[in-house]
Structure 1
């Protein structure tokens, strides 16, 4: 083919891809979530499809409904618990803002920083409307009216629900048509990269996503359970709700401290000083062990990535892309590590055949 015609074909292809990406850009996040969920849950979907006699549509519908229930039921439970606790919390905050919060006597006895902390508390939180002044950053005009706040939160909630709905819709079609889509993508990728190189990368991507999901979600649930036990022992009201909140935040590395330190502060203000110290100390131990040892080891051993690559992938992905970056970041780092090690690896024909057979068996 003449070089001019090759250039024209390349330009034609790039224009079509660019226009498609421009049209579909509002749905990229939903598609990425759907892809992550499909890859992470594909072994389960494969078993469901076997139990339904390999009926693609029925299996895809059941798998999608199951994933929906996994997300929807905890969310409904959390909303119900929040609705029950909201009036009491509102009264507590209103009373604290109107009359001030008395400084705990034990605060002044803390070594070194105690006198300073006690003086700061008396000058701010103990004063009428001191809490509102502190939350507004010293500028009352920055406080939003309740109606404006509800409007903003409502808009964000509707946006997230629509995004979640498109993700579930995309997930259904990925379940139903996943093998065919993968086969077509496989053919295109092999044409561009070559069969040997493509299979070196393709086999690692699903494995990396599943390892990341396990490392983030399962470890987060474990942190929520362990710290939730401390909430229960310390006598924190609605310990189960606080434990669930901790588990959700613990999916984000170093996110759990926001929950258990808030719980410790609530115990401290309520006069349960020993419980507050115990919750804070136990939470620090659990988070330190989980985020520095268990989580990177779980993901790193499964993907054969160094500790720093796993850590940078998780935190860098979160910083660059938000919540979805927690799962995309490690995959990108895995691709980079594979590229870094590529000069040291060669695949003979037998190894290539094994890689292709493994890829086919994953979708069987």
Structure 2
């Protein structure tokens, strides 16, 4: 009883401290999760450096971390530089005198209001606003028209109040932007540190965790292997789908006449990696612009490509990769991706297939344990029956080997009768002698 109370108290303390610890690490869950995923994927590179450095795990982990961070930062910086260069070239060409005049003329033709419509607007304003205008004008000392002071005061208040609110909004936005940048910097530093320690001490962390979980080590390894397969498949599927969508979007935009292929490729790829956004943020405004220009054929073509090809490419690539790498059924992979996205948002794209695959592995483990338990139970029952048969066989053999005897009764009455017969029988009977012995006695 004392031990049960002690275990209950310890369990309650573990739950309370676990909840507090989860709240502490909640701001860094995303960097830690991404670091764990990258550490799983980069195990072959880590093993290569361990062999090259003669078993220096920490040095190999440092080299692997440096290469991974460089592989993330260098393409990002190069893409931003190339995109900025193309945007700068576009702005310079647009501000050129000839191009600028052409652009202004185009805008003027698109937004020009006819004189008739403008005159209708003037007549309407004169008819409905004349009374308000007259009420705002007063006479001065010499009789000249003068705008009333109340009108000036109200206009100043109406103008200064929005300016003050907008200034406060700009200040708050600036502070929020600085806070976001600081949080992003802290998250990036946490990602690098966590990645290094996951690479350097990953096996120790796994072994210590395995010793704390009351499940067989083989089953834990099976779950870890399945988790690694699914995570690797989800990451590969995400990158392949994003690259495919970005490339298809950039090619479609180039076909309909848009320049700056690299800029559209980078933007479409980045937006495709975020399922809640998607590459439609790139091709849909371009299609609207084509409609505004009057090029309906190109606009319809771009909308069809974006809807039928780019929109379905994500689900097809994810389903195929999850089926081939994680051994998930296509229907299960498709449902887990879309269901996770709907329930958990961006996290659901990763968590949905992981939950489905780990659940499948747990069901297999439970089925294996249930079969083993059933076999042990049936074997124990069969062993008991065999032992009972073996014990019964010698007894039957002994009864078969005994000679047939007259049945004896062990009852007291029969025993007393046999004793009386023995007492009534004479003690000795006369011995019969032969005639020769009689003759010898006579002599």
* Alignment TM-score, normalising by the size of structure 2: 0.59
Give the direction of change, closer, same or farther, for the CA distance of 1:101–1:179 in structure 2 (3 Å limit).
farther
For structure 2, the residue ranges without an aligned partner over 5 or more in a row are: 112-161, 373-443
Give the conservation status (yes or no) of the 8 Å contact 1:236–1:267.
Answer: no
Name the CA distance, whole Å, in 1 between partners of 2:292 and 2:72. Answer: 33
Answer whether contact 1:33 1:324 (CA < 8 A) is retained.
no
Q: Is the 8 A contact 1:242 1:263 kept in 2?
A: no
Matched, 1:220 2:242: yes
Q: Which residue of 2 aligns with 1:295?
A: 318
Structure 1 residue matching 2:54: 3-state secondary structure: coil
Q: Determine which of 144, 153, 157 is the counterpart of 2:181.
A: 157
CA distance in 2, matches of 1:43, 1:224: 28
Deviation at 1:42, TM superposition (A): 2.1
Q: C-alpha distance in 1, partners of 2:364/2:195?
A: 33
Q: Which residue of 2 aligns with 1:362?
A: none
Counterpart check, 1:236 vs 2:244: no
For structure 1, which runs of at least 5 residues remain unmatched after alignment? 104-139, 350-364
Look up the SS of the partner of 2:110 in the other structure.
Answer: coil
C-alpha separation in 2, matches of 1:331 and 1:292: 16
For 1:294 and 1:206, locate their aligned partners in 2 and report how far apart those are by CA, in whole Å: 19
- Say which is worse superposed, 67-76 or 141-150, in terms of deviation: 141-150
Q: Is the 8 A contact 2:249 2:310 kept in 1?
A: no
1:102 maps to 110
In structure 1, what is the equivalent of residue 59 of structure 2?
Answer: 58
Classify 1:332/1:195 alpha carbon distance in 2 versus 1 (closer, same or farther; 3 Å).
Answer: same
Change in 2 beyond 3 A, CA 1:154/1:23: closer
Give secondary structure in 2 for the equivalent of 1:2: helix
Aligned-partner SS, 1:237:
coil
In 2: Cα distance, 1:38 partner to 1:307 partner: 27
- The number of residues matched between the two structures is 307
2:34 pairs with 1:33: yes
Larger Rg over CA atoms: 2
Aligned to 2:349: 326
Offset of 1:150 from its aligned partner? 5.1
Instruction: Tell me the CA shift for residue 206 of structure 1.
Output: 0.6
Could you list the per-position Cα deviations for residues 313-343 of structure 1 after superposition, in whole angstroms to 9, with x for gaps in the alignment? 3344445555444323321222233345555
1: distance between equivalents of 2:264 and 2:174? 23
Supply the RMSD in Å over aligned alpha carbons: 3.7
Aligned residue in 1 for 2:19: 18
Secondary structure of the residue aligned to 1:203 is helix
1:233 deviates by 3.0
Can you list the C-alpha shifts for 1:300-323, whole angstroms capped at 9, x where unaligned?
332233445433433444455554
Provide the C-alpha distance between the structure 1 equivalents of 2:175 and 2:290, rounded to a whole number of angstroms: 32
Counterpart Cα distance in 1 of 2:172 and 2:317: 42
Q: Which residue of 2 aligns with 1:179?
A: 203
Per the normalisation by structure 1, the TM-score is: 0.70
Higher relative contact order by CA 8 Å / sep ≥ 6: 1 or 2?
Answer: 1
Of 192, 195, 198, the residue aligned with 1:168 is 192
Match of 1:109 in 2: none
1:73 aligns with 74
Task: Report matched runs for 1:128-167 at 5 Å.
Answer: 149=173, 151-167=175-191
1:354 corresponds to which residue? Answer: none
Compute the displacement of 1:154 (Å).
4.1
Question: Which residues in structure 2 correspond to 1:253-272 (within 5 Å)?
Answer: 253=275, 255-269=278-292
Which moves more between the two structures, 240-249 or 78-87?
78-87
